[in-house]
Structures are given as C-alpha cells and as structure tokens.
C-alpha cells in the first residue's frame, strides 16, 4: 500500500529539468506577448498630430490658418506640424515653415510600407514600423525606405497656408 501512495506522489512531482523547461517556456510566452503589443502600439501611435483648422469642401485643397494657436509654431522658420489623417491625405501631412515666405507639405505615409511617420524631431521624421527616416526636404536618409515622401504644392499668403494636390 505504501508503494502505491509513493507512486501517486511521484507522479505529481516533476524533475528539476522539467520545472526549468516550463519556467523558460512561460517567460518566453510572456516576453513574446509583450513585444508584440509594443510593436503594434508603436505602429499605430501618432505624435500629437493636429486637425486642420479649416478644410475646404474640396478634398483637393486644404487651408490652414497659422494665426490659430495649434499652428503658431509655423509662424517661425523651421517650425513643423504633423496633421492627422483627413480627406486630403489619409495618413496626414507634415507641414514645414521652410523660410520667411515659403512652406513645404509632405504626406505622412512612409514610402516603404505605408506606415504613418512621426513629426520632425531635429529635422528628421521617423517611421515607427521599420525605422526609415526622412529629412525636411522629404528625402529618405535612412532605409529601408528609398523613395522620398510624397510632396504637395504649398503656398503661404499672410497667415493662410494653402496645400493642393
């Protein structure tokens, strides 16, 4: 009878090797899950894009009033704003005050695989999906993207920026 009890107890006892294997598998699953969530969150995050303050009914033109507080950074040369996706461009736009009298506008769609690039930081916009980087001329300066961001015609008249396709 004692041998039967001992056998039943032994069947619930696992070896040190089995224990370590189960712990490693558990940690691996948790790590993979955490990395997956971080990756997918990074692909969908935007860096504080603003909505256009005035959007014409014509989806081929977009106007922005830089006298409004959310666009005040565009009053200074070198100022940049990231605009959220809209009817004009589904991923949004990057607007740059290039000089006293000119502005530039680029799509936020990465030319590698279509992810939404971030606003410019120190003159570089980065794609959170695969790390491509673009300068303030829209040119790819680090791959895997090799093509420039799509640019739009942009003009400045007083405090109004007009962007057209």
- Give the 3-state secondary structure of residue 102: coil
Q: Is-above-0.85 flag for pTM?
A: no
SS3 content of the chain, % helix, strand, coil (to 5): 30, 25, 45
Domain that holds residue 13: 2-44
- Within 10 angstroms of residue 103's Cβ, the number of other Cβ atoms is 19
pLDDT exceeds 70 at position 145: yes
Q: Is residue 129 located within the same domain as residue 76?
A: yes
Q: Is residue 84 located within the same domain as residue 156?
A: yes
CATH code (residue 134)? 2.102.10.10
Whether 122 is in a domain gets the answer: yes
According to the model, what pLDDT value does residue 2 have? 42
Q: Is residue 65 located within the same domain as residue 39?
A: no
pLDDT exceeds 60 at position 156: yes
Average pLDDT of the chain, as a whole number: 75
Looking up tokens 């962007």 gives 163
Q: Is residue 91 located within the same domain as residue 30?
A: no
Q: Is residue 34 located within the same domain as residue 97?
A: no
According to the model, what pLDDT value does residue 26 have? 64
Residue 105: closest CA among 163, 47, 165, 46:
163
Whether 49 is in a domain gets the answer: no
Distance CA 145, CA 120 (A): 17
Q: Which residue has the higher pLDDT, 122 or 41?
A: 122
């Amino acid at each position: 009878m004692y041998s039967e009890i001992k056998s039943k107890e032994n069947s619930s006892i696992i070896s040190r090797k089995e224990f370590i294997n189960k712990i490693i598998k558990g940690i691996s699953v948790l790590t993979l899950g955490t990395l997956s969530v971080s990756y997918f969150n990074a692909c969908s995050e935007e860096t504080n894009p603003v909505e256009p303050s005035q959007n014409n009914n014509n989806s081929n033109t977009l106007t922005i009033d830089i006298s409004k507080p959310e666009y005040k950074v565009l009053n200074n040369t070198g100022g940049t704003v990231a605009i959220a996706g809209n009817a004009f461009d589904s991923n949004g736009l990057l607007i740059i005050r290039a000089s006293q009298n000119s502005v530039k506008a680029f799509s936020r769609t990465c030319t590698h695989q279509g992810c939404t690039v971030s606003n410019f930081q120190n003159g570089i916009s980065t794609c959170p999906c695969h790390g491509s980087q673009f300068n303030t001329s829209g040119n790819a300066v680090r791959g895997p993207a090799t093509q420039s961001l799509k640019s739009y015609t942009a003009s400045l008249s007083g405090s109004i920026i007009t962007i057209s396709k």
